[in-house]
Amino acid sequence: MIPMIMRIHIVEGNKNKVRLILPLFLVWLLLLPFIILLTPFVLLAALILWPSGYGKTILGAGPALCSVISALSNLHIQVEGPDSKTLIWMK
């Protein structure tokens, strides 16, 4: 499952500096037309480069990218410094 929401929380000292909730599903909807438009060009490049062996690599990049994006779900990053704290969470 791809991540749909990202939360960013930055604290400096004892004050909340930034607290943001970003709806990632809107980003995915904006990227969808570009992906659809680029698909024929990727397939053409894979067809042209197939004899040299790079066509398989180009075709394998799509599923690999989908796998990496899906793995971002339930990502939790917390960085703490001496006077600041940053939290990034994807769900």
d(CA 8, CA 2): 18
Per-residue pLDDT tens digits for 19-62: 999 999 999 999 999 999 999 999 999 999 999 999 999 999 99
For tokens 């690999």, the residue is 64
Quick one: DSSP state of residue 82?
S
φ, ψ for residue 74 (rounded to 5)? Answer: 65, 25
Whether the full predicted model's pTM is greater than 0.75, yes or no, is no
What is the arrangement of strands in the sheet containing 76-80, beginning at the earlier edge strand? 15-23, 5-12, 84-90, 76-80
Alpha-carbon Rg for the chain in angstroms: 19
- The domain limits of the chain are 5-90
Per-residue pLDDT tens digits for 53-67: 999 999 999 999 999
